[in-house]
Amino acid sequence: MAWAGRRGVGRLPCPQRWRTTAQRASVHNAFRPSIERWGVDRITRRVQLATGVTVPYLEQGDPQAAAVLLLHAWVESSACFDRLLQAMPPTVRVFAMDQRGHGDADKPANGYALVNFADDIEAFMDAVGLQSAVLLGSSSGGYVAQQVAVQVPHRVDGLVLVGAPRSLQGWPAFADEVDRLTDPVDPTWVEESLTWFPRYHHVPDWYIKDRIRDGLRVPAHVWRAGLAGLTAAVPPSESGTITAPTLIIWGEHDELLPLQDGYLLAAAIRGSRLIVYEDTGHLVLWEQPERVATDLADFVARLSTSGQNSTPIS
């Protein structure tokens, strides 16, 4: 789910980060994933991370190709990328994971600060043997991607930020409703929450129902803690410098993150490129997955031509 807001909350402690090649290789060997086949060219796995959580993920595409890691938004799951994955060429190696608290990932009682999500991404790359990758983040998933690019720039070959905020500091209008949530989360409330985000393109009913299921799988404490942790964080583009090649994709009619925010984000990331999708709202991934897939594949191809490829840990 995509969102924007303002409120200050204290940051949670950050777990140990793994930096050296030797440490990363050690973690990769210690936390090898379990494997389950899905379809012809897609594999699903579960993997325990050094940060203490176990997450499911899928992988598709050429194992020798440049790698892309897809990061979903708050209270969604990796399943939000189903339509994008169908449009991706096999020449791109794609990973999509459920982040902590979401989907079928572990749901700890705490640890939902922006830095915790970013640390999980680095630990995930260690566990699956990726030295670096292109990160694509949808909405608040793009906020996490920016944080990773600030914390460990050598692990990020490039960023594709799809409807991703420049800042989430503060408290959104719907936060009081989230604060009142209890388990089990009310399906009617989750369905009605989707009206926060106007859509300008047709989105299949099955996809909408899947996103409702995503929301229902997130416990009330994760709805609250995830929102509080993300809105409390210092914006990554303010806390550090993002040096990774960056493509920013924005919906022309985004009512939650106005187009002006897209220009501000582009100005904050030197050398970035901003593409505005006409007749599109905040839910860019939901509305135009095929176009996002095309722009992502083109971005990865350009990086590969320039020699900036993702590489596995040896």
Exposed / middle / buried, residue 201 (Cβ in 10 Å: 0-12, 13-18, 19+): middle
Residue 228 has pLDDT above 70, yes or no: yes
Confidence of residue 5 (pLDDT cuts 50, 70, 90): very low
Confidence of residue 195 (pLDDT cuts 50, 70, 90): confident
Residue 294 has pLDDT above 60, yes or no: yes
| Residue 18 φ/ψ, nearest 5 degrees | -105, 120
In whole angstroms, how large is the CA radius of gyration of the chain?
18
Q: Can you give the pLDDT at residue 211?
A: 97
Q: Can you give the pLDDT at residue 41?
A: 58
Are β-strands 156-162 and 246-251 bridged in parallel, bridged antiparallel, or unpaired? parallel
Residue 314 has pLDDT above 90, yes or no: no
- pLDDT higher at 37 or 260: 260
pLDDT, tens digit (0-9, with 9 covering 90-100), for 35-72: 443 443 567 999 999 999 999 999 999 999 999 999 99
- pLDDT higher at 104 or 33: 104
Torsion of the alpha carbons at 145, 53, 80 and 63, rounded to the nearest 10: 80
Residue 11 has pLDDT above 60, yes or no: no
Q: Can you give the pLDDT at residue 196?
A: 86
| Residue 134 φ/ψ, nearest 5 degrees | -80, 135
Residue 209 has pLDDT above 50, yes or no: yes
Work out the mean pLDDT of the chain and round it to a whole number.
Answer: 88
Neighbouring CB atoms inside 10 A of 307's CB total 6
Residue 96 has pLDDT above 50, yes or no: yes
Distance separating alpha carbons of residues 243 and 176, to the nearest angstrom? 36
Distance separating alpha carbons of residues 63 and 90, to the nearest angstrom? 10
Distance separating alpha carbons of residues 71 and 303, to the nearest angstrom? 19
Least Cα distance to 136 among 285, 241, 237, 306 occurs for: 285
Q: Can you give the pLDDT at residue 42?
A: 67
Q: Can you give the pLDDT at residue 170?
A: 87
Give the amino acid at 228: A
CATH architecture for the domain at 21-305:
3-Layer(aba) Sandwich (3.40)
pLDDT, tens digit (0-9, with 9 covering 90-100), for 75-93: 999 999 999 999 999 999 9
Distance separating alpha carbons of residues 97 and 33, to the nearest angstrom? 13
Q: Can you give the pLDDT at residue 171?
A: 82
Q: Measure Cα distances from 238 to 147, 267, 276 in Å.
A: 10, 12, 23
Residue 260 has pLDDT above 70, yes or no: yes
Q: Can you give the pLDDT at residue 80?
A: 97
Q: Where are the domains of the chain?
A: 21-305
Q: pTM of the predicted model, to two decimals?
A: 0.87
Residue 162 has pLDDT above 80, yes or no: yes
CB 115 within 8 A of CB 140: no
Residue 169 has pLDDT above 80, yes or no: yes
Sign of torsion over alpha carbons 213, 219, 223, 229: negative
Percent of the chain at pLDDT > 70 equals 84
Which tokens belong to 211? 């996103």
Residues 100-108, mean pLDDT to the nearest whole number: 98
